[in-house]
Amino acid sequence: MSLWIQNERQREWMEKIGLLADEFQKTAALDDEAGRFPTEKIQRLRDAGYTALTVPEAFGGAGISVYDMVLFQERLARGDAAVALGIGWHLSVMGELGEGNSWDEGVFSFITEEVKKGAVLNRAATERQTGSPTRGGRPGTSAVKKDGKWVLNGRKT
């Protein structure tokens, strides 16, 4: 085990993550070579409760610290770096939103409930005028389904 573990909760999660990471490692190179999205690995993290770790305690989550997140992510990355990178975006977005407390409480409560059920989110600052929708910007780009196809209007950066 790691010298960096400071408490029982960290030890328990490091054991869980270690088992998953060791399993993920068996197919990590194959996933990378095939350009395959690791859907089943993300689902395993959801099932373990990993994706909800940064949901604030006030909203029913574990509210882990940045230190805990980095500790856990480092262990996960030793098994599958691509999975750790992808899920790390989600964890850090949830943690930052929880710390910043800039969203309407009802909206944030809805989001945290969805995350606790397995939703995974990220943000993208893709519009020059508004930046990231997580900061309240309303996208100027639209996607509308027309005749069975998506029609995209707008500009992305």
Give 66-114 pLDDT, tens digit per residue.
999 999 999 999 999 999 999 999 999 899 888 877 788 899 999 999 9
Query: pLDDT tens-digit profile of 3-13?
Result: 788 899 999 99
Q: Return the CATH number at 36.
A: 1.10.540.10
Q: Does a structural domain hold residue 144?
A: no
Indicate the pLDDT class of residue 38, thresholds 50, 70 and 90: very high
Indicate the pLDDT class of residue 134, thresholds 50, 70 and 90: low
Q: Does a structural domain hold residue 55?
A: yes
How many domains are contained in the chain?
1
Nearest to 80 by CA among 21, 141, 138: 21
Domain span including residue 58: 8-122
**The tokens of 118 are what?**
């397995």
Indicate the pLDDT class of residue 28, thresholds 50, 70 and 90: very high
Q: Does a structural domain hold residue 145?
A: no
Q: Does a structural domain hold residue 156?
A: no
Average pLDDT over residues 11-18: 96
Q: Does a structural domain hold residue 37?
A: yes
Q: Does a structural domain hold residue 149?
A: no
Q: Does a structural domain hold residue 133?
A: no
CA dihedral 57, 23, 117, 51 (to 10 degrees): 40
Indicate the pLDDT class of residue 39, thresholds 50, 70 and 90: very high
Q: Does a structural domain hold residue 146?
A: no
H helices of the chain, in order, are: 8-34, 39-48, 66-79, 81-100, 105-116
pTM for this entry: 0.77
